[in-house]
Amino acid sequence: MATAYYFSLIHFVSLFVAQSYVPISVVDAATLRNITSDQHALLALKARISQYDPHNVLTNNWSTSTSVCNWVGVRCGSRHHRITALNLSYMALEGTIPPQMGNLSFLVRLNIRNNSFRSSVPKELAYLRRLKSLDFGFNDFSGEFPSWLGLLSKLQYLALHGNTFTGTIPPSLSNISSLQRLSCSLNQLSGSIPSSIFNISTLQEIYLGGNKLSGPMPSIFFDLPSLQILDLAANYELSGALPMDMFDHLPNLNSLSIIRNQFSGELPSTLFRCTQLKVLSLSFNNFSGRVPQEIRNLTMLVYLDLDNNKFEGRVPPELGNLTMLAQLYLGFNDFKGALPREIGNLQNLEVFTITNSSIAGSIPFGIFNISTIQYIAMEFNNLSGHLPPNFGLFLPNLREISLANNELTGTIPSSISNASQLTHLDLSSNSFSGLIPKTLGNLRFLQLLHLGNNNMTLESPDLFSSLSNCIYLTELNLFKNPLDIILPNSVGNLSRSLQNLYLSNCSIKGGIPIETGNLSSLFVLSLAYNKLEEPIPNTVGRLRMLQGLYLEGNRLKGPIPSDLCHLTNLVDIGFGGNELSGHIPACINNLTSLRNLYLGSNQLTYIVPLSLWSLTYLLEVDLQSNSLSGSLSLEIGNMKTLKLLYLSRNQFSGFIPETIGGLQDLANLSLAANQLEGSIPESFGKMVSLEFLDLSDNKLSGEIPKSLEALRYLKYLNLSFNKLRGEIPKGGLFVNLPATAFMSNDALCGDTRLQVPPCKNKATGAHILKYVLPPIGLMILILFLALLSTRHKKRNVRLSGGLDLEISPLATMRRISHQEILRATEGFNVNNLLGEGSFGSVYKGTLLDGTNVAIKVLKLQVEGAFKSFDVECEVLRNIRHRNLIKIISACSNMDFKALVMEYMPNANLDVWLYHEGRHLNMLQRLNIMIDVATALEYLHLGYSTPIVHCDLKPSNILLDEDMVGHVADFGIAKLLSDGISLTQTMTLATIGYMAPEYGSEGIVSARGDIYSYGILLMETFTKKKPTDDIFTGEVSLKRLVEESLFLSIMEVVDINLLGDKIDYSVMENCLSSIMGLALNCCADLPEQRIDVKNVSSTLQKIKRKFLQDIGIRG
């Protein structure tokens, strides 16, 4: 995505005015005493920092053998020969400020910006009554905001930004009647904004962003005729409506940034009298109503950001008057109607976005005539109509355009090739028809082409030949278009940079060209659900980077080529629903990265090679509906991570191995319709995660093991058409099973409900029981009632005391009925589906009170879903933090479980990293990672029992309307109630993110989360998944970053960050610091990893340094 260029949000101001030094040759005794006093003050400062002077600037220079006026950073006045200016900025000094600094009574300018001075600022500095400029920006000062600053009545420039000052802004600041610049952003100031600071008529710039200020804007404003910049961004808790007369007092306002707060109501009409405004940034608030027509008065605007509010009505045509606009952001609002054609008047526009805003009608053709435009995003609206016939002809600078997920029709004009700078073209999920233009091949810089899910065709396969000119193409997606072609050999001439090729559901005929093997960088090849025939070519084995190979739903014939065994990065093989024959290659054990193997519904024969069972990290294996034979190997018990195993409808024979009971993660097991014999192993009772078990239509004999009663998550069991005998167990799942689960067996007995005969009892036993059982039963009943009464009283005591450790995870949450959830999601309408995960689907819903929520409906047939539900409830019911997902309610019964959570309108970090048309700039990524670190600090240290998340990854970092990160999905989290670590046998975390000790030894600790966070940090700034195909053997994401840190870190970072128009060296320094922190998180030994408190504070410091380097004051 093109980077937003934030005009006027970054302000470069000269901070130091040097006074000339006039050497003196003769000084009287009084002057000598005074200069000696100044020297003593500086020596006291040197003593405080002498051990923390990394460049030895002061150590080697501040010497009593030379005049203090000649010391580095010191300037003296020509009249009194006293120190008038001290500048120690950017020296990497660390230490504290001594109270003796208050003796520098002639000091006019004091600048120690960008060091690591800490602790509080001594109150003795209040004696510096001549001080005009004080800059303590970007240090580590802490404590209460200094109230004595109000005594410095001559101060013109005050900069305390980038520290950790707390407390409120003192009203005494209003005593500084000459103050021109107030910069206190990026601290931890709280409370309201005092109205008194708006009584300083000389103020030109106010920076209070990045604090914790709250409440409404002051209701009383005084005239501030000189104020040009007002920055209150990212306080998050400033709220209420803007005062109606506020902007009457700010006639020369140049820049207003109040993003990421909770301001609401309509925009005051006085705002549009500020005709000098160049930057107006209001995004991520709750402003509502219509955008007033008076916006036409702001003709100087260069940057307008109204994103993520609740503006409604039509987009005002008066925007067309703002002819100097370079960037216009209108997305994520409630606009209705069509875009005004006047947008086409903005002939200086470079960025235009209006995504997710319900805009309808056709796109004004004038937008496509703006020659300066570089980025257009209008996805996820209701746009209709067609593209202009000259589309692209007047767009020489266009780099990215996304019109995906609309209702556009017509054809794609061949003139699109005139947009010669285009890198990203996404027109997917519309209703385009006609021919895909071959002229797309003229777009030499094209990196991404998404035309999937339309109704387009090809006149001939020549498109692939023309696209071979696009040497930077990394992703080609044409899925769900009726191409109806034979895939040409020229597909092998596509870019050697091509990583993802999606051609599923395209009615492609013939075979897979052998030239496909030339695409050496391919990660994903999807040709599923076509009409492909012929064998799979051996040349596919040359795609050494391949991770996903999806060929299911075709009519492919012949054997599975053994050359596939060279694809050691392969994670998914999808060959199901074809006509493949022969055997499974014995070399399959070479595929050590393989996690999912789908070979079902083919014509495979012979035995399953023993080597398959050595792939101990497989998650899902589907071999059903083939003609495989032989016995089941004992080695099957080694596949400890297996979650699904389908071997049904084959010709397997012999006994079911007892070792299968060791598969404690297995959720779905089907061995139906084979020739298996012998008894059902007792060890089946150890498969504690089992939810689906089908052993029907075999030759199994003996009794049904009572151990199956212990399988608490088992929801489906089928033992029909076997030779089983004896009594059907009565506990667990067996209570609710239908008779069909046991039909057609030899001699089963039990409850007549199951349509089997009752079990016979011995006569003697029955005679004894007739007389003995009644009195025994009566005694048991009396004892039970007495015990029940006692427990009830104890339970009442516990509940009245407010603590019950045995309480259900759902007991503290308001329940919501299944019927309410049905209504909220419109019957689980697919249009409300937000996403699907391993344990369930998530829908958007609206409760009766109008609250938007996310409803996670568990797939009860999926392994681990019940446990995941219990764990997530247990964790989320007890924790509250702004960076953790909040659970609102729940619904739970035997056959339905759902969690009702707060709705996150900006999806998750994974979407923003990898979904085309979305882009995070440097600061956004930093903010999100700080949010995650803050959440981890709370989980590990802020709760009575430490909580380990166990599965940190981008898809589990949800983003709210303000792009604030929230850690989610606690389905496998652990409570460390017994110590700092625990050991478990089931490894459920995501491969690539889990700590080494978790994957190899099952050790769970808070340090494991730190490791995952380090990987997440690397991925966020490199846009490289740890599971990418490039990472094989000893090459990993961590290793890549480690080596690049000493060579050139800029070669591995996300290329989109390099377009942020930030100085290269600034970007490089910041990213080097981030990657250094990430590596500290990812030390191999847990005890060597940085602790969570230092993670958060270090990242905050990196952010402050970055903001200072790019010139954001405040």
| Residues 6 or more apart whose Cβ sits within 8 Å of residue 20 | 78
pLDDT at 1051: 79
**If you average pLDDT over residues 776-784, what whole number do you get?**
55
Ordered alpha helix ranges (H), 850-965: 865-876, 909-914, 922-941
**If you average pLDDT over residues 3-13, what whole number do you get?**
32
User: pLDDT tens-digit profile of 722-745?
Assistant: 999 999 999 888 988 888 899 999
Q: Assess whether pLDDT exceeds 60 at residue 861.
A: no
Identify whether the C-beta of residue 336 lies closer than 8 Å to the C-beta of residue 312.
yes
**If you average pLDDT over residues 703-720, what whole number do you get?**
92
β-pairing, 716-718 vs 723-727, is unpaired
| Residues 6 or more apart whose Cβ sits within 8 Å of residue 1086 | 995, 997, 1003, 1005, 1007, 1008, 1011
Q: Assess whether pLDDT exceeds 70 at residue 9.
A: no
Q: Give the pLDDT band (50/70/90) at residue 949.
A: confident
* Range in 139-148, 586-595, 846-855 with the lowest mean pLDDT: 846-855
- SS3 category, 361: strand
Q: Give the pLDDT band (50/70/90) at residue 1092.
A: confident
pLDDT at 104: 96
How far apart CA 474 and CA 498 sit, in angstroms, is: 4
- SS3 category, 4: coil
Residue 807 sits at the vertex; the CA angle it makes with 801 and 812, to the nearest 5 degrees, is 80
Ordered alpha helix ranges (H), 1048-1091: 1064-1081
All structural domains of the chain with their residue ranges: 605-778, 812-903
Residues of the chain with pLDDT > 90: what percent? Answer: 63
The model carries a pTM of: 0.67
For residue 133, give the H/E element and its range: strand 133-135
Mean pLDDT score across all residues of the chain: 86
pLDDT at 985: 38
How far apart CA 97 and CA 143 sit, in angstroms, is: 14
Provide the CATH number for the domain formed by 812-903 in this structure.
3.30.200.20
**If you average pLDDT over residues 34-45, what whole number do you get?**
91
User: pLDDT tens-digit profile of 434-476?
Assistant: 999 999 999 999 999 999 999 999 988 889 999 999 999 999 9
In single-letter form, the type of residue at position 911 comes to: V
How far apart CA 663 and CA 665 sit, in angstroms, is: 6
Which string of DSSP letters, residue by residue, matches 655-670? Answer: EPPGGGGG-TT--EEE
DSSP code for 796: H
How far, in Å, are 524, 679, 989, 1062 from residue 1028 at the CA level?
Answer: 11, 44, 17, 28
Same fold, 605-778 and 812-903: no
User: pLDDT tens-digit profile of 641-659?
Assistant: 999 999 999 999 999 999 9
How far apart CA 694 and CA 874 sit, in angstroms, is: 32
pLDDT at 1034: 72
Q: Give the pLDDT band (50/70/90) at residue 774.
A: low
Q: Give the pLDDT band (50/70/90) at residue 866.
A: low
What HEC string does 491-559 produce?
Answer: HHHCCCCCCEEECCCCCCEECCCHHHHHCCCCCEEECCCCEECCECCHHHHHCCCCCEEECCCCCCEEC
How far apart CA 503 and CA 500 sit, in angstroms, is: 10
pLDDT at 781: 56
pLDDT at 454: 96
Q: Assess whether pLDDT exceeds 70 at residue 895.
A: no
pLDDT at 534: 93
**If you average pLDDT over residues 83-99, what whole number do you get?**
95
Q: Give the pLDDT band (50/70/90) at residue 847.
A: confident
Q: Assess whether pLDDT exceeds 60 at residue 787.
A: no
* Range in 25-29, 354-358, 688-692, 943-947 with the lowest mean pLDDT: 25-29
User: pLDDT tens-digit profile of 1073-1083?
Assistant: 899 899 999 98
Provide the CATH number for the domain formed by 605-778 in this structure.
3.80.10.10
How far, in Å, are 225, 269, 274, 623, 1021 from residue 277 at the CA level?
Answer: 14, 14, 6, 67, 34
pLDDT at 80: 87
DSSP code for 144: E
pLDDT at 801: 28
CA 265 to centroid of chain Cα atoms: 30
Give the residue numbers marked as catalytic.
951
Neighbours of 573 (CB within 10 A): 23
Q: Give the pLDDT band (50/70/90) at residue 589.
A: very high
What HEC string does 172-236 produce?
Answer: HHHHCCCCCEEECCCCCCEECCCHHHHHCCCCCEEECCCCEEEECCCCCCCCCCCCCEEECCCCC
pLDDT at 12: 28
* Range in 560-564, 769-773, 1084-1088 with the lowest mean pLDDT: 769-773
For residue 1098, give the H/E element and its range: helix 1092-1110
pLDDT at 222: 72
- SS3 category, 756: coil
pLDDT at 768: 43
| Most confident residue range from 31-35, 107-111, 783-787 | 107-111
Tell which wins on pLDDT, 1032 or 913.
Answer: 913
Known binding residue 856? Answer is yes
* Range in 41-50, 444-453, 846-855 with the lowest mean pLDDT: 846-855
pLDDT at 858: 77
**If you average pLDDT over residues 471-488, what whole number do you get?**
95
Q: Give the pLDDT band (50/70/90) at residue 7.
A: very low
Q: Assess whether pLDDT exceeds 90 at residue 746.
A: no
**If you average pLDDT over residues 741-759, what whole number do you get?**
90
